[in-house]
C-alpha cells in the first residue's frame, strides 16, 4: 500500500517544510510498526521547490488474520485461503488509514509546534495513491473528492492486465488529487474516504468510531453531498451508528450555517420524500437544483447575481467544473460575510483566482458582466420593487446576456402550507412581492420572448399536488445567435456536439 504527498515551494517558503508538518525529517527513512504490519516513511524528493513524502505500508497478512479472529467482527468468515491470499498487502484501504493515524498523528490533528501558522495554511498539494480499491469506481471517487476543494480529481481505472486490455478494468483506480488545502484537512479526508472507497469488511466498528468519524470529518463532512454514503460505509452499514452520526452531523451543519435568520421560514421545511434521511432545508435544495441546472447547461463561468452571504458561491467553489465564479451584491455587509465564509484571505492563489466578489446594483448595466456562460438570480427578484424589475431584466437579459439564466423565486401559492406563516404574509420581511406559478410563468415568458431566450420551469422542494412547490425556478436558454456567447461556441458545447456527431 502506497501513498505519496507532494508540495511545491520557493526559497523563502521551501517545500521541505512538509517535513515539519508531517513531523518526519526529509533526510531520514523511518520505520514504524503498526498493528497490521510495518509502515515506512521516506522522501523520494526533497528540495525547496518540490518535496514528496511517501508512506509505504507492508502488511503482514498473517498478523492481519490473527487480529481479525481475535476481534470477531461478525459476518461470514472468509474462506481459509482468501484470508492469506488477497489484495490487502497491495491496495490502499482502511489499513493505510490506521497506519496514517499511527505515523501522522500530529499532522492529522493539524498540530505543528515548529510551524503552527504553516499548519493552518492551505498548501499546494498533490496526493497520489497508485492502487486504490474503489467500489463505485472512478465516478464515486469524483463524487467524494470533488466537493472538497480539490482542483484536480483524477481517478483512472487500472486495467486487470496491460497485455490483455480486453479483460477490462480491475476494481482499482489510480488516484491523483491536486489542490490548495490544509495538510490536516487533506489527511483527514483520506483517513475517512480510503476505507469508504474500499468498503471492505475486514475492519471492525466500535461505538467510538462515530466520534472518530466526526473528529476526522470536522469542517468537511457535515453537508457533503455524499454524507450519507460516507457515514454508512465508514460505519460498515451499522444502521444505529450511522443514524447517530447523521444526527450529530446535522447539528454540526445547523450550528455552522449562520444564515438561519435570513431565510428562516425556508429552513423550517420539514417535508421530504425520503423518510430515511433528515429533512434537507429548502435553501439547500435550491442550491442543489441550481448546481444541477448549471451542470446540464455545461456552464463553467458563472455569475451569482445577488449572491448574498455567498452560500452558492461556496458550493460552486467546491466543484471543479466551475472555473470562474463572480458574486455580485448590492450589500457590502453581505459581501463581507461571504468573504469570511469563503475564508478568502486564507485561500491559496489558485482557488482565490476562481472567485470575484463585487459590489454592484443589478438594476444598472455593467460591461464586466458580459460574456459569461450562466447567471443565477436566486431569490433576488422579489427583493426589488416591481417598477425596478424591467431595469434588472434589461441589465441581465439585454446587456450581460449569458447563455443560460436561472431565476428562482418563492411560489406564493405554497405559503398556505407553512405552519409558521400567518395567512397573507410573505416569507421574508424584505420581499416586495411573491408570485403565483402563473404570474411567474407570464413574466418569464415575456422576458424570454423580448430577449431571445427559451424558458422552462423546474419545481424546487416538495411539490404539493394543489399548490405546487415552495420554490419555482425558471431556466432561460439563449436561442438567438449573438456575439461570442451563442449556443454551441464554448469548448464544452463543441465537445458535446462532436461526441453526438
In angstroms, the CA 202 to CA 88 distance is 10
The SS3 assignment for 475 reads strand
In angstroms, the CA 155 to CA 142 distance is 7
Q: Closest approach of Cβ 330 to ligand SAH, in Å?
A: 3
Residue that the C-alpha cell 511517501 belongs to: 54
Give the interface segment with ligand SAH, choosing from 117-125, 170-178, 240-248, 328-336 (CB under 6 A): 328-336
Q: How many CB atoms lie within 10 A of CB 235?
A: 23
Give the interface segment with ligand SAH, choosing from 123-131, 301-309, 416-424, 465-473 (CB under 6 A): 301-309
Q: Closest approach of Cβ 459 to ligand SAH, in Å?
A: 17
Q: Closest approach of Cβ 480 to ligand SAH, in Å?
A: 26
Rounded to the nearest angstrom, the gap between the alpha carbon of residue 501 and the centroid of all alpha carbons in its chain is 32
Residue 365 binds ligand SAH (CB under 6 A): no
Residue 363 binds ligand SAH (CB under 6 A): yes
Residue 410 binds ligand SAH (CB under 6 A): no
Buried b (16+ CB within 10 A) or exposed e, 402-441: bbbbbbbbbbbbbbebeeeeeeeebbbeebebbbebebbe
Question: In terms of CB distance, is 8 or 365 closer to ligand SAH?
Answer: 365
Sign of the CA dihedral running 446, 447, 452, 455: negative
In angstroms, the CA 471 to CA 285 distance is 9
Residue 158 binds ligand SAH (CB under 6 A): no
Question: In terms of CB distance, is 155 or 315 closer to ligand SAH?
Answer: 315
Residue 285 binds ligand SAH (CB under 6 A): no
Rounded to the nearest angstrom, the gap between the alpha carbon of residue 400 and the centroid of all alpha carbons in its chain is 28
Q: How many CB atoms lie within 10 A of CB 492?
A: 15
Nearest residue to ligand SAH, using CB? 308
Report whether 295 contacts 273 (CB < 8 A): no
Among 37, 306, 348, 461, binds ligand SAH (CB under 6 A): 306
Q: Closest approach of Cβ 382 to ligand SAH, in Å?
A: 8
Give the interface segment with ligand SAH, choosing from 29-37, 48-56, 361-369, 451-459 (CB under 6 A): 361-369
Residue 361 binds ligand SAH (CB under 6 A): yes
Size of the site for ligand SAH (CB under 6 A): 16
Residue 434 binds ligand SAH (CB under 6 A): no
In angstroms, the CA 146 to CA 154 distance is 10
**Stretch 368-397 residues interacting with ligand SAH (CB under 6 A):** 378-380, 383-384
Q: Closest approach of Cβ 476 to ligand SAH, in Å?
A: 17
Q: Which residues bind ligand SAH (CB under 6 A)?
A: 306-308, 311, 329-331, 334, 361-363, 378-380, 383-384
Amino acid at each position: 500500500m502506497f501513498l505519496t504527498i507532494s508540495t511545491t515551494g520557493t526559497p523563502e517558503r521551501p517545500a521541505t517544510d512538509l517535513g515539519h508538518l508531517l513531523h518526519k525529517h526529509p533526510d531520514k527513512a523511518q520505520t514504524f510498526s503498526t498493528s497490521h504490519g510495518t509502515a515506512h516513511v521516506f522522501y523520494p524528493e526533497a528540495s525547496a521547490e518540490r518535496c514528496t513524502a511517501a508512506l509505504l505500508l507492508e502488511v503482514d497478512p498473517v498478523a492481519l488474520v490473527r487480529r481479525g479472529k481475535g476481534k470477531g467482527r461478525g459476518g461470514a468468515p472468509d474462506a481459509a485461503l482468501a484470508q492469506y491470499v488477497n489484495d490487502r498487502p497491495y491496495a490502499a484501504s482502511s489499513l493505510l488509514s490506521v497506519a496514517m493515524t499511527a505515523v501522522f498523528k500530529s499532522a492529522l490533528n493539524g498540530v505543528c509546534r515548529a510551524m503552527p501558522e504553516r499548519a493552518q495554511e492551505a498548501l499546494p498539494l498533490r496526493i497520489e495513491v497508485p492502487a486504490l480499491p474503489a467500489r463505485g469506481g472512478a465516478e464515486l471517487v469524483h463524487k467524494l473528492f470533488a466537493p472538497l476543494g480539490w482542483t484536480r480529481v483524477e481517478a483512472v481505472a487500472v486495467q486487470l492486465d496491460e497485455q490483455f486490455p480486453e479483460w477490462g478494468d480491475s476494481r482499482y483506480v489510480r488516484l491523483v488529487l491536486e489542490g490548495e488545502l490544509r495538510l490536516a484537512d487533506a489527511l483527514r479526508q483520506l483517513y475517512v474516504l480510503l476505507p469508504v472507497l474500499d468498503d471492505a469488511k475486514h475492519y471492525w466498528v466500535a461505538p467510538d468510531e462515530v466520534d472518530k468519524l466526526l473528529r476526522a470529518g470536522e469542517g468537511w463532512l457535515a453537508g457533503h453531498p455524499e454524507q450519507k454514503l460516507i457515514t454508512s460505509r465508514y460505519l460498515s452499514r451499522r444502521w444505529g451508528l450511522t443514524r447517530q452520526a447523521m444526527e450529530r452531523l446535522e447539528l454540526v451543519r445547523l450550528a455552522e450555517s449562520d444564515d438561519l435568520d435570513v431565510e428562516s421560514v425556508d429552513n423550517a421545511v420539514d417535508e421530504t420524500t425520503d423518510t430515511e434521511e433528515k429533512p434537507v432545508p429548502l435553501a439547500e435544495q435550491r442550491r442543489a437544483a441550481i448546481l444541477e441546472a448549471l451542470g446540464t447547461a455545461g456552464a463553467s463561468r458563472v455569475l451569482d447575481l445577488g449572491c448574498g452571504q455567498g452560500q452558492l458561491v461556496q458550493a460552486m467553489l467546491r466543484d471543479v467544473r466551475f472555473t470562474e465564479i463572480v458574486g455580485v451584491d448590492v450589500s457590502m455587509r453581505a459581501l463581507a460575510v461571504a468573504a469570511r465564509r469563503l475564508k478568502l484571505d486564507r485561500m491559496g492563489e489558485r482557488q482565490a483566482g476562481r472567485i470575484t466578489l463585487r459590489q454592484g446594483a443589478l438594476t444598472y448595466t455593467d460591461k464586466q458582466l458580459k460574456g459569461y456562460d450562466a447567471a443565477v438570480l436566486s431569490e433576488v427578484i422579489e427583493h426589488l420593487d416591481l417598477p425596478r424589475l424591467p431595469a434588472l431584466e434589461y441589465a441581465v437579459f439585454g446587456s450581460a446576456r449569458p447563455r443560460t439564466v436561472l431565476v428562482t423565486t418563492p411560489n406564493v401559492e405554497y405559503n398556505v402550507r407553512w405552519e409558521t406563516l400567518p395567512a397573507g404574509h410573505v416569507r421574508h420581511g424584505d420581499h416586495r412581492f411573491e408570485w403565483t406559478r402563473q404570474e411567474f410563468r407570464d413574466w418569464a415568458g415575456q422576458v424570454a420572448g423580448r430577449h431571445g431566450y427559451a424558458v422552462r420551469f423546474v419545481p424546487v422542494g416538495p411539490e404539493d399536488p394543489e399548490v405546487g412547490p415552495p420554490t419555482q425556478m425558471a431556466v432561460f436558454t439563449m436561442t438567438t445567435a449573438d456575439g461570442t456567447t451563442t449556443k454551441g461556441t464554448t469548448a464544452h458545447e463543441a465537445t458535446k456536439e462532436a461526441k453526438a456527431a
